[in-house]
Amino acid sequence: MDFIHSKNIFLLTRDTLKLMDSRPMKHGSRVAYLLYKMLQTQGGYEDFEMAEFCMLATLHDIGAYPIADLSKPLTFETRTTLPHSIYGYLFLKYLSPFADRAKILLNHHVTFMELAERGEKEYAEVTNFLSLAECVDVYRESLGERFNVQSFRPFEGKRFSKQALDVLDKAMVREPILEKLDSEEHEQELSKLMDNLMFTNEEKKSLMETIMYCLDFRSYMKVQDTAVCISICSQLADLLHLDGRTQEVLYYGALVHDIGMLGIPKEIIESSRKLTDEEMELMRGHVELEQKILENRLDPVSTQIALRHHERCNGSGYPLGLTGGEMNTPQKILQLADAVTGMINDRPHRPGMPPEKVRQILEKEQAEKAYDPEVIKAFFSQFDLILLQAMTQGKESLRTNASVISRYQKLEKMMQEQKKK
């Protein structure tokens, strides 16, 4: 997959999550930098390995997005650490290519002593380093000038490993790490490190799909919407005999076409009433939000497909009011697929529409030349089959999400019970 560089997948993931709340990612960047300096000082790690571990460190609080109160970081970082650690672990284990390293997230709040007692050896060094880096940033942000890194020494061998504390001390002697965090110079060093990320094509595809599943953090409907939309796009691309390359750029455009929704308040996305003009304008702003994230990262062809999903061939769409002659076939396919998805899937204010109602609305809109005639002709030629396959795919995405939530509930209960013993 040459549609996106490995580093840009990291930036895309990070900045997509920032749309919801930037604080966990800013904290993640500082923790990743501390981890980077510790791994660098320890030695024995290749640059690409450090880059991948630092990507995980940046995302170490991803589990907080769906289940924690992000306005109270000290609470979920120091008091109720288990829930977001479990959710982040399961999310990466089942919905990303990081399954083998997901336990680092599960254990990033586990003490050195607990980790040793459990016999957790795989990635133990990185986990111990991350645990210390996490605490350094949390307490440094909380205490300000009163913070002293030596205040962690009394917890040596219990909360933190001696190795981690020694390595951090050496790293801080070598260079002014805390000053770089204050000046945000650390961002430049992390950016340079991420040039070393080297994902396979299959890992890139999986990570792009991980971004799609992040939509569930804002609204459970949006993952299903994207899966249904992708299915419709794929079927129409086959019917219109698009070549493999074109089908692939369409797939990635459809995959990310709604990520801007993460920047829209949940109460608007899931409102059960008609939106006000102001709210509707805010909702439409999701296209502009995703433009800022996608441009110069994702392949420009896929980017334009995603950004034009609300345009219409008769010029009635937004944000640019383009007409059919200004757009290509993949863009027109996504426009129809997105519109149909909005009709057949449930909405907070109404259930999904029956097929006959969808057909009636499309015929009325097509009388006004809203869609490309060849695209809608292909859709109507296999109308029932396309809807059936799309709904099946949508339900599968819901089952995938539900399985993560179910595992989270079971694992949290089990670990809470073990903690009491």
Q: 234-272 pLDDT, tens per residue?
A: 999 999 999 999 999 999 999 999 999 999 998 999 888
Token reading at 263: 């920047």
Amino acid at 213: Y
Contact 266, 218 (CB under 8 A): yes
Label residues 373-393 b or e (16+ Cβ within 10 Å = b).
Answer: eebbebbeeeeeebbebbbeb
Q: What distance separates the 2 farthest-apart alpha carbons in the chain?
A: 76
Q: How many CB atoms lie within 10 A of CB 72?
A: 11
Per-residue DSSP letter, 308: T
Residue 203 has pLDDT above 80, yes or no: yes
Cβ–Cβ < 8 Å for 207, 200: no
**SS3 for 45?**
coil
Pick the range with the lowest mean pLDDT from 65-69, 195-199, 254-258, 378-382.
65-69
Q: Mind listing the pLDDT tens digit for each residue in 118-144?
A: 898 999 999 999 999 999 999 999 999
Q: Report which residue type is found at 217.
A: F
pLDDT score, position 233: 98
SS3 310: coil
In angstroms, what CA-CA distances link 313 with 221, 307, 322, 366, 374? Answer: 27, 15, 7, 10, 12
The span from the CA of 162 to the CA of 153, in Å, is 8
The predicted pLDDT at position 419 comes to 66
Q: How far is CA 30 from CA 34, 225, 388, in A?
A: 6, 34, 47
Is there a cis peptide before residue 319, judged by omega within 30 degrees of 0? yes
Each residue of 8-36: pLDDT tens digit? 999 999 999 999 999 999 999 999 999 99
Which residue type sits at 403?
S
Amino acid identity, position 356 = E
Which of 2, 62, 66, 6 is closest to 32 using CA atoms?
Answer: 62
Residue 420 pLDDT: 65
Average pLDDT over residues 382-389: 97
Which residues, at least 6 apart from 263, have a Cβ–Cβ distance to it below 8 Å? Answer: 19, 20, 285, 286, 289
Question: What was the pLDDT predicted at 1?
Answer: 58
Give every CB contact of residue 99 below 8 A, 6+ residues apart in sequence: 92, 93
Q: How far is Cα 196 from Cα 5, in angstroms, rounded to an integer?
A: 11
| 349 against 102, higher pLDDT | 102
CB 263 within 8 A of CB 19: yes
Can you state the angle between helices 383-420 and 355-367, rounded to 10 degrees?
A: 120
pLDDT at 27: 97
> Are 234 and 382 in contact, with CB atoms under 8 Å apart?
no
Instruction: Say which DSSP state 4 is in.
Output: S
* Sole residue written with tokens 């790293």: 171
Q: Are 64 and 89 in contact (CB under 8 A)?
A: no
- Per mean pLDDT, which range of 273-287, 350-364, 403-417 is the poorest? 403-417
From the DSSP assignment, how many helices (H) and strands (E) are in the chain?
Answer: 23, 0
Question: For residue 406, what pLDDT is reported?
Answer: 87
- pLDDT band at residue 220 using 50, 70 and 90 as cut-offs: confident
Q: In the prediction, which pLDDT does 180 show?
A: 96
C-alpha distances in angstroms, 261 versus 9, 183, 212, 337? 18, 31, 11, 17
Binned at pLDDT 50, 70 and 90, residue 421 comes out as low
Query: From the CB of residue 27, how many other CB atoms can be counted at a distance below 10 Å?
Result: 20
User: 300 to each of 6, 81, 294, 304, how far by Cα in Å?
Assistant: 16, 40, 8, 6
Say if CB 336 and CB 294 are below 8 A apart. Answer: no
Mean pLDDT of the chain: 94
Closest CA to 237 of 375, 124, 341: 375
Token digits for 302?
Answer: 């896929």
- Predicted local confidence at residue 163, as pLDDT: 98
Kindly indicate the confidence band of residue 43, based on its pLDDT and cuts at 50, 70 and 90. Answer: very high
What percent of the chain stands above pLDDT 90?
Answer: 83
What percentage of the chain's residues is helix, strand, coil (to nearest 5)?
A: 75, 0, 25
Model pLDDT, residue 221: 83
**Any bridge partners for residue 160, and if so which?**
156
